[in-house]
């Protein structure tokens, strides 16, 4: 199997994946979620993102399969769902998210 035949398609896929992460607000949300699942109020408190903007960013992250949520009565708890995002955020968290 020749990898060069598959590389252009994979490169496009990876570029799309990284575009989903390449937003400062979404990265703030993912930094918070790298510590564990959180509800919307906790995410707003951790990031300082306005509620309407938070809602839009969570919808985009969910649409792209990056995050998902579980429901506990009326509260939604968000978490990183995509395994590759979990790995990438693990590295980014160590270098950029955690307090020094």
Q: Note if the pTM is more than 0.75.
A: yes
Looking at every residue in the chain, the average pLDDT score rounds to: 91
Contact yes or no for 67/27 (Cβ under 8 A) = no
pLDDT for the residue 16: 84
Q: How confident is the model at residue 40 (pLDDT cuts 50, 70, 90)?
A: very high
**How far apart (Å, rounded) are the C-alpha atoms in residues 88 and 97?**
12
- Judge whether residue 85 has pLDDT over 90: yes
Pairwise CA distance, residues 55 & 61, whole Å: 10
- Region 3-97: CATH code: 1.10.10.10
Q: What value does the mean pLDDT take over residues 33-50?
A: 97
Flag whether pLDDT at 2 surpasses 80.
Answer: no
Share of the chain above pLDDT 70, in %: 95
Q: Kindly list the domain boundaries of the chain, sorted by start residue.
A: 3-97
Q: Evaluate if residue 66 carries a pLDDT over 80.
A: yes
């Amino acid at each position: 199997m020749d990898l060069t035949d598959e590389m252009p398609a994979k490169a496009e896929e990876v570029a799309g994946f990284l575009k989903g992460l390449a937003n400062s607000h979404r990265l703030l949300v993912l930094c918070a979620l790298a510590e564990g699942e959180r509800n919307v109020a906790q995410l707003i408190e951790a990031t300082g993102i306005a509620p309407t903007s938070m809602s839009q960013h969570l919808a985009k992250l969910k649409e792209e399969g990056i995050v998902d949520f579980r429901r506990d009565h009326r509260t939604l708890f968000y978490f990183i769902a995509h395994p590759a995002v979990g790995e990438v955020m693990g590295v980014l968290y160590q270098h950029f998210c955690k307090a020094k």
